[in-house]
Structure 1
Amino acid sequence: MIDGNGILHPNRAGIASHLGVKLGIPTIGVAKNLHRLDELVQIDRKQITDHLDKKGSTYLLKTHENEILGCALKTTETGINPVFISIGTGISLETAIQIVLQFSKYRIPETTRQADVISREYLRQHHPTQRQIQPVKGKKQQHPTKQQHPTQQQHNTT
């Protein structure tokens, strides 16, 4: 499962398609947002969500020529917003839907959700934003990556 699109993409080859071909493995594109494609039959998010009444409900996303590019999938009973599934490589849409449902406790499949949590924590610890750096009262705080080891600190002799 890739956090992005497969064939549901303006070039018919999103990140899920590219990674599947490059790695030689089956891939599924799972996107949080729907690309606006001129060739898709005109739909809006409300029209899609109105058709998704329970977990596992799908709404096929088709072109004017009736080509299926993917689907909107409701992954929880209580959530409103779907995810957008498209094949990357080497898998059918039906199988992709079943796999995504098996890994979805919340709206986003657990594999993607955990990767997001872990990567955000890593960035917070190793590359904090200015807002995340909290000065200690009465002390000037150095950026965490610029702090010196105690044996490298210079002593003030004046």
Structure 2
Amino acid sequence: MDKTDYRILRILKENGRESASDIGKEIHLSVSAVLDRIKKLEDSGVIKSYTILVDSSKLGNDVIALMEVSLEHPRFYDEFTETVRGIDAVVDCYYLTGDFDFNLKVTCASSDELEQIHRKIKSIPGVSATRTHFALKEVKNVYAAIPGE
């Protein structure tokens, strides 16, 4: 990857629907050169998919919580991750080092709904402890960091 590829990624990060023509004008490349570069970025897996960012609160999900989860033993990893993938309110899940094994980002409509999600997660076999933090305010939410930004 070169500087031009990074410039294309930055533009697409801001607007995944930006036309190859507009990208080409901004970075001084032909439309076909831009399309070729984007295709290579997709084929190599650098660009994994195109998606949208939504404002969760406008969808009625006013509660954001970060939940740390510990497992009794690593043998519970597969069942835990499979179950968490099936919980729509869990929007991010990271396997960690340190005192807890996982960190989950949960978005939901209310503290009552969060309680139900919490109970569901605590009932997954192997879960030994949780610690939940309510997010007061979103300060930054970026899907991906591109080097040089």
Q: Which TM-score band (shorter chain)?
A: under 0.3
- Answer 1 or 2: higher relative contact order, Cα 8 Å, separation at least 6: 2
Q: Name whichever structure is richer in strand by fraction.
A: 2
The TM-score with structure 1 as length reference comes to: 0.26
The TM-score with structure 2 as length reference comes to: 0.28
Higher Cα Rg: structure 1 or 2?
1
